[in-house]
Amino acid sequence: MYRYDEFDHTFVRQRVEQFRDQVERRLSGALSEDEFRPLRLMNGLYLQLHAYMLRVAIPYGTLSSRQMRCLAHIARTYDKGYGHFTTRQNIQFNWPALKDVPDILLDLAEVEMHALQTSGNCIRNVTADQYAGAAADEIEDPRVWCEIIRQWSSLHPEFSFLPRKFKIAVTGAPNDRAAVAVHDIGLRIVRNEAGEVGFQVLVGGGQGRTPVIGAVIRPFLPKRYLLSYLEAILRVYNLLGRRDNIFKARIKILVQQVGAAVFADMVEDEWQQIKDGPVELPAGELERIQAYFAPPPFETLPDADSGFADAQAGDPAFTAWTRSNLAAHRQPGYAIVNLSLKPVGGIPGDATAAQMDAVADLADRYSFGEIRVSHEQNLILPHVRLQDLYPLWQALEGIGFATANIGLASDIIACPGLDYCSLANARSIPIAQEISRRFAALDRLHDIGELRIKISGCINACGHHHVGHIGILGVDKKGEEFYQLTLGGDATDTAALGDLIGPAVSVHKVVDAVETLVGVYLEHRQNGERFLDTYRRVGLQPFKETLYATH
């Protein structure tokens, strides 16, 4: 993992002191709420329906056990004992008092964390594949470049007042787990025909009220040019992105307006001016950062482990969990372990302070002290020996993080919705809770197979409904909660936006509707194909006919 040096420590502490001064000016009345707003937003502090909410960055989803314990401490000391992991690899605390926020930030700084640029019209917390550095299919570890981007974008003097927020995601593997195609900039580490490693650059993807799949504007960018190329994209956007209408201010609108090819030319023109200039990384800096992401001291182990095989044979519940919650590790004898934060009837992404502490302990015991956060709002222990899986699973059962549902119907992404958010039209969390109860039976859940259900409480799409196999969007109809359903969305390397199936269904019928759609899939499924595959093969019609005949 990256570790702060004296520069990083100084920077983050100075940022805390700057904010402490701003909070004091607000508390004394020297600043009005209007004047304070842009200042607090630059430190991830929102004012929500009931209270302030502090959004803390977990850069590229990587946490150490020490950092997790600090998050637990914050939840326990300054909040109501829990935190909420979000779709952008952040954690939100829903109940901090304004006067405490500078102290919270100081505690975070001690463990090399911050809340910088988790809101505001700036370059937001950069996100990555949660299996980075562990995945069997990875070309190179994307976190090295995420850390370079994190530093380059921190208080960038030119790009802190962009037309709108700006999100960058990076994947180092061909199987895209970071949803890069629905980001303002998506970066895919690729290998070209000459065997060199570089970036495929996508621009203008996004969700919200105008969902767009990003366009490739450069098939191969040599790695050494990443920062100058990003700077060129951001400069073109900063100068030409719309500022007259907040709903048309994202880069995707600019790219659509001029066309991806013309946009690429504009970037090229700017880039030619600055490439090989001072913005490129100086010699040695890449290697310095790379060294922090060296693999942990893995043991040399065989591919299989007899203890693991015996445990699987003897315990069906463990076996079910290993089917859904493990991913292939690059190192023989190791596995990537997903901890489900989607227990039946639970709130997606929530974790208590006790659970966070327990995860930190398990990370120390079984995963070199490393933890990851996924955009699906789950946690990951990235480096677990096969022989440790059974005791780890038992421990996870004990803290409620062993639900065998990763990638399945009850592994739902949901935004906070009307329970917390001042923008929401409808509730998300109770819908997710009810769906997970309906699909609680493990046999059925596993028989249905991979099914990504994503729920947003309003058109801003924080719950990623556009890219859900089943997407659910809350809308307000004359004061009543209704839900629009979309089918066929996909956030991966085969990215697609969901198709609207028809009129919205009422809050009382939305969970039945999901069950009906799953029924149609099971009826048409061939050869063990996934829901998404069946949908792509048979199209909307059979789903639509059955849904509206039934409801």
- Interface residues with another protein (CB under 8 A) are 5, 7-8, 10-11, 14-15, 17-18, 22, 38-39, 121, 151-162, 227, 235, 238-239, 243, 273-274, 277-279, 281-285, 288
Query: Token pair 């700017």 is at which residue?
Result: 270
Least distance (Å) between residue 232 CB and another protein:
11
Question: Does residue 505 contact residue 483 with C-beta atoms inside 8 Å?
Answer: yes
Alpha-helical regions (H) of 439-477: 442-448
Residues whose CB falls within 8 Å of the CB of residue 245, separated by 6 or more in sequence, listed in order: none
Q: Write the DSSP string, 325-378.
A: HEEEBSSTTEEEEEEPS--TTS-TTEEEHHHHHHHHHHHHHHSTTEEEE-TTS-
Helix, strand or coil, per DSSP, at residue 475: strand
Residue closer to another protein (CB basis): 161 or 437:
161
Residue closer to another protein (CB basis): 241 or 400:
241
Least distance (Å) between residue 189 CB and another protein:
21
Residue closer to another protein (CB basis): 7 or 245:
7
Helix, strand or coil, per DSSP, at residue 549: helix
Question: Does residue 181 contact residue 214 with C-beta atoms inside 8 Å?
Answer: yes
Helix, strand or coil, per DSSP, at residue 61: helix
Residue closer to another protein (CB basis): 148 or 170:
148
The token duo for 170 is: 């990076």
Distance from the first to the final alpha carbon of the chain: 52
Least distance (Å) between residue 96 CB and another protein:
22
Least distance (Å) between residue 269 CB and another protein:
10
Residue closer to another protein (CB basis): 85 or 166:
166
Residue closer to another protein (CB basis): 187 or 335:
187
Q: Distance of alpha carbon 172 from its chain centroid, rounded?
A: 15
Least distance (Å) between residue 159 CB and another protein:
8
Residue closer to another protein (CB basis): 166 or 390:
166
The residues with which 496 forms a beta bridge, in sequence order, are: 490
Least distance (Å) between residue 267 CB and another protein:
13
Least distance (Å) between residue 524 CB and another protein:
50
Question: Does residue 146 contact residue 59 with C-beta atoms inside 8 Å?
Answer: yes
